[in-house]
Amino acid sequence: MSTRVNPFANLTDPQPVFATKPKREKPVATEVIAQLAEDNNFPSRQATKTQKEPRRKRRVYTTGRNQQFNIKATSETIDRLYKMADDRKVSLCKLLEEALDALEASTNHM
């Protein structure tokens, strides 16, 4: 028992040859099927595309601000915030700074 048994000794071809199967041709073209479905008023199972809400213009400002501040708000509040920033042509942070300054000024005068 000093030699090991070779498990591949009885194989005649050391490299098995694999061949890919040829693709079968489709019996009917996709265009013909679509035309038949349209002629016979068969509805498509494909979902209709819904229109997405238009995206806001991307805001990219290089301001040196590097701290993130997240809050939850209603969609109306968020829309007001973006509209005010767009009207003033400032970043959201600058608008927040101006709002905080105005709030501090109004509370100091009371």
- Which residues lie closer than 8 Å to 81 by C-beta, 6 or more apart? 73, 92, 95
Residue 23 vs residues 18, 20, 29: alpha-carbon distances, Å: 16, 9, 15
Q: Could you read off the pLDDT of 65-80 as tens digits, one per residue?
A: 778 888 999 999 999 9
Would the pTM count as exceeding 0.75? no
Q: Could you read off the pLDDT of 32-53 as tens digits, one per residue?
A: 888 888 899 887 777 777 888 7
